[in-house]
Amino acid sequence: KQIAETAYRDVMEHHCTVKTGDALARFVRQKMRGNIAFLVSELSFGGVGWVACHHAALLKKRGVDVLLLTTGQKAENIIFDGENLPVVSRDTIYSYRYFDRMAAFDWQSAQWMQDYANAGVRYYMVRGFETDYYPPGNIIRLKANQMYTPHVPMQFAAPCQWCQSWLADNYGQSAQVLQEGTAFEMLHTIPARLQKFQNQKRKVLLAASGALEAEHLREAFQIADLLDPQRYQICSYFYHERPDVEEEFERKYPRGIQYRCKSQQEVWQMYGECEILLLTATGICAQAQILDMMAAGGAVVAAREAANRLFLSDGGNCALYAPGNVEEAAACIRRISEEEDYRKRLLRNAQQTASEH
């Protein structure tokens, strides 16, 4: 009996992973590749979804293990830039799974990341002032605002100096600027772009993103209603499922086009087919959408917004209008369509802007 008890104590002390597993774990970690999880509330081929997939594909090409974490139970892998990106629902991830790095692209994802215990370095990619996406008094507004001062360390990043500025001034956060580029060579060679402004009808693409997508699109509807249906074909692309807005679009523009892009190539083709991008969004840096349209040879009409002022020039590479002034926006679209010299100047400068990014 004494021999058995001595053997038992020796095994428990020196041969069980409870007390000896750390050395094994350190050995395994040394042999493993680095990993990173990208968090987005909704995956779509446009807006924040495109940015997350772009970063994930780039890192995977460099040998990093990547994972896209989204909400809901349904999660399917995504092919992006030739890379098969694994997608997993956050509802199925358990807290004992370790991530070297995690990157969130919206406040809901940042909140989930903040509460996830088993992570190394956390990054918050701030693309807009999400506090203003909700009305005063709404508890969600307060939750969004809290994520600019998280209670665990996070490294902040921003796509433009506008975000960098208010993060520093209002919240004391130092953010690195990571500009969102564009697949210029791909967009610049889309065959459809050669037909821009050649047809009798101009295709006007209504686009918006963020929590106020539906509200911004309805402003775009007001602008589109001021355009001659004989000269303009209204198109739309919804980054997220908005059944009420989609039904409204179908009712108002029965001859319009609703793009439902299922791949990045389809998004590029959409930009190649449309002549004018109407962007009514405010409070968010929409650099990726704007640069994609410019690279595809199209014109941009956008709300005058601090987030985009560093690379947009009214009358230079785009046409800007005062937010909410639907008459001014419609006039901008008509001028681009009707004044050839003005249009050529905008398109030439827009191509230069896209190539530089």
- Reported as type and span, the H/E element at residue 203 is strand 202-207
User: What pLDDT shows up at residue 94?
Assistant: 65
- Least confident stretch, 1-15, 21-35, 217-231: 21-35
Q: Within a 10 A sphere around the Cβ of 261, how many other Cβ atoms?
A: 17
Residue 199 has pLDDT above 70, yes or no: yes
pLDDT at 194: 57
Mean pLDDT of 57-81: 84
Asked if residue 114 has pLDDT above 90, the reply is: yes
Q: What residues are paired with 102 via a beta bridge?
A: 37, 122
- Where does the pLDDT of residue 345 fall: very low under 50, low under 70, confident under 90, or very high at 90 and above? very high
Strand pairing class (276-279; 299-303): parallel
- Cα angle vertex 354, ends 284, 164, to 5°? 35
In order of 44, 254, 272, 286, the CA distances from 266 in angstroms are: 12, 22, 10, 19
- Per-residue pLDDT, 268: 79
Residue 246, pLDDT > 80, answer no
Residue 276: pLDDT band (50, 70, 90) is: very high
Q: What local confidence, expressed as pLDDT, does residue 44 receive?
A: 66
Which amino acid does the sequence have at 105? Answer: F
Instruction: Return mean pLDDT, the chain.
Output: 84
User: Is pLDDT of 227 > 60?
Assistant: yes
**Of the candidates 297, 245, 250, the residue with the CA atom closest to the CA atom of residue 269:** 297
Distance in angstroms (rounded) separating the CA atoms of residues 166 and 181: 22
pLDDT bin (cut points 50, 70, 90) of residue 212 is low
Q: Give dist(CA 130, CA 113) in Å, integer.
A: 17
Q: How far is the CA of 88 from the CAs of 46, 209, 300, in angstroms?
A: 19, 23, 35
The amino acid occupying position 328 is E
Q: Say yes or no to pLDDT of 159 above 70.
A: yes
- Output the pLDDT for position 24: 78
Reported pTM: 0.79
Residue count of the chain, please give it: 357
Task: Classify the C-alpha dihedral 299-304-309-314 as positive or negative.
Answer: positive
> Stretch 52-56: mean pLDDT, rounded?
86
pLDDT in tens, 122-155: 999 998 888 888 888 889 999 999 999 999 999 9
In this structure, the strands spanning 232-237 and 87-89 are unpaired
Average pLDDT over residues 51-62: 88
Question: For residues 89 and 75, is the Cβ–Cβ distance under 8 A?
Answer: yes
- For helices 340-356 and 326-338, the axis angle rounded to 10 degrees is 100
Q: Which of 77-91, 184-198, 281-295 ranks highest by mean pLDDT? A: 77-91
Q: How confident is the model at residue 112 (pLDDT cuts 50, 70, 90)?
A: very high
* Count of C-beta atoms within a 10 Å radius of residue 32: 10
155 burial level (CB within 10 Å; 0-12, 13-18, 19+): middle
Task: Give the pLDDT confidence score for residue 357 in this predicted structure.
Answer: 67
pLDDT band at 315 (very low <50, low <70, confident <90, very high): very high
Burial of 115 (0-12, 13-18, 19+ CB in 10 A): exposed
Other C-beta atoms closer than 10 Å to the C-beta of 76 total 7
CA distance 110 to 103: 8
Percent of the chain with pLDDT over 90: 36
pLDDT at res. 195 = 64
How far apart are the C-alpha atoms of 274 and 197, rounded to whole Å? Answer: 9
Integer Cα distance of 86 and 124 in angstroms? 21
pLDDT value at position 332?
96
Displacement of CA 205 from its chain's centroid (Å) = 18
Most confident option among 76-90, 308-322, 328-342:
328-342
